[in-house]
Amino acid sequence: MQGLITRLMLLAALCMPAAVLAQAAPTHAPPEGFTAPADPRPEDTNAERARSQPGNNAPFWRAVRNSGEQAGYTSLPAPEAGVLIQRTVQYPGSLRTTAGEAWRQVRNQWILPYGGALLLIVLVAIALFYWRKGPLDVHDAPTGRMVERFTYFERAAHWVNAIAFSILAISGIVMAFGKFFLLPVLGGTLFGWLAYGLKNLHNFAGPVFAVSLVVVILTFIKDNLPTRDDLAWLAKGGGLFSGEHVPSHRFNAGEKLVFWGGVLLLGLVVVGSGLVLDKLIPGWGETRGQMQVAHMVHAVAAILMMALFLGHIYMGTVGMKGAYQAMKTGYVDETWAREHHELWYDDIRAGKIPAQRSARPAPSGRPVTPSA
């Protein structure tokens, strides 16, 4: 009993100072005329939040995040100057994210891996075909009689376009894929200078390619018009695998597919999207969304064009004997013309097409004359 009384007295002694202090503490009532700031609201502007909660900039950052849907105020006249973060979008197979992040994902997860794989597959297929078949050659001996296949103007247009395309392809591959196979070897500094130099070279070669592409299209479009004989050539695959001779006109169906699909369609798409990226088309390329779409279209079309032209380059160099000489000198032997483009050769023999269209003499031999 005595212990219980002792505990109660000790508890009372501990509580007494707190009660005394509470009674002695002065009361601080707000001064007369004082108005407490309003509680913060989600819809507050940054200025209103600064009054209610100084230092809380949540409305500002909320406006930054939503500037893609409702642009903020800026005195700059540039388009999208008030947009700091693009609006959210969702492409097939992705979560909803900002347009800039969606572009980055498409580039890094779709265009680069699948585009790079396509180019490697084409290179491997060409190497296997060359290993199994070797270069295509004529069966009969050359006659020494020459046929002018390309005039000087046609060859000049082709070579200007081909050189510009090669510069664009190499620089584009380095800029797109160089970080995977060149950066680890060269290091950051050297690779940075290389990429910077190739980027400027890419921009200078682009207009040359665009102008020469139009010249090539206008020069060769007549002889690339489709005919019924092209169906037979396509049905037999041009005899590439069977070795069967398939007649064709000046350009076979395979070359016509390269012309219409690669030169005309993909070429114009690459040039058009490149002009948008360079901001050379009024009203286009002024917003980030337009630039992102133009970049994706440009990259996809360029990769498809390179894949298609790899086969064209192969057949025009080591894949077919005499093809490179045709574009170098302009002339082919009569045997080559007859075995590779028999219908074109028949028209020459019939006098429908001149065997020599330019004033320059054949490099060797004599021109084919029409048959009596």
> What is the rounded CA–CA span in Å between residue 79 and residue 88?
18
Q: Is 147 within a domain?
A: yes
**What angle do the packed helices 288-316 and 99-106 form, to 10 degrees?**
10
337 and 273 inside one domain: no
Q: What is the pLDDT of residue 347?
A: 92
* 28 in a structural domain: no
In which band, very low, low, confident or very high, does the pLDDT at 81 lie, cut at 50, 70 and 90? confident
Q: Which of 62-66, 134-138, 141-145, 274-278 has the lowest mean pLDDT?
A: 62-66
363 and 303 part of one domain: no
Residues contacting 337, CB < 8 A, separation 6+: 147, 149, 344, 345, 348, 368
C-beta atoms surrounding 223 within 10 Å: 15
How many structural domains is the chain composed of?
Answer: 2
Regarding whether 358 and 284 lie in a shared domain, the answer is no
Q: Are 339 and 238 in a shared domain?
A: no
Asked if the structure places residue 111 within a domain, the reply is yes
User: From start to end of the chain, where are the E strands?
Assistant: 88-89, 97-98, 145-148, 331-333, 366-367
Are 286 and 350 part of one and the same domain?
A: no
> Looking at the domain assignment, is residue 174 inside a domain?
yes
Same domain, 209 and 344: no
CB neighbour class for 301 (10 Å; exposed up to 12, middle 13-18, buried from 19): buried
Domain assignment of residue 287, yes or no: yes
CA distance 272 to 189: 33
In a domain, 134, yes or no: yes
- Taking each continuous run of H as one helix and of E as one strand, the counts in the chain are 15, 5
263, part of any domain = yes
Of 254, 249, 227, 224, the closest CA to residue 239 belongs to 254
Tell me, what's the pLDDT at 175? 96
The one-letter amino acid at 49: R
Is 196 in the same domain as 135? yes
| Structural domain contains residue 238 | yes
Alpha-carbon span 195 to 178, nearest angstrom: 8
196: containing domain = 99-142+153-316
pLDDT tens for 169-222 read 999 999 999 999 999 999 999 999 999 999 999 999 999 999 999 999 999 999
Whether residue 184 sits in one domain with residue 119: yes
Lowest mean pLDDT among 43-57, 238-252, 342-356: 43-57
pTM for the model stands at: 0.82
Q: Are 316 and 132 in contact (CB under 8 A)?
A: no
244 and 115 share one domain: yes
Does 287 share its domain with 340?
no
Domain shared by 337 and 221, yes or no: no
CATH for 175: 1.20.950.20
The verdict on 133 and 232 lying in the same domain is: yes
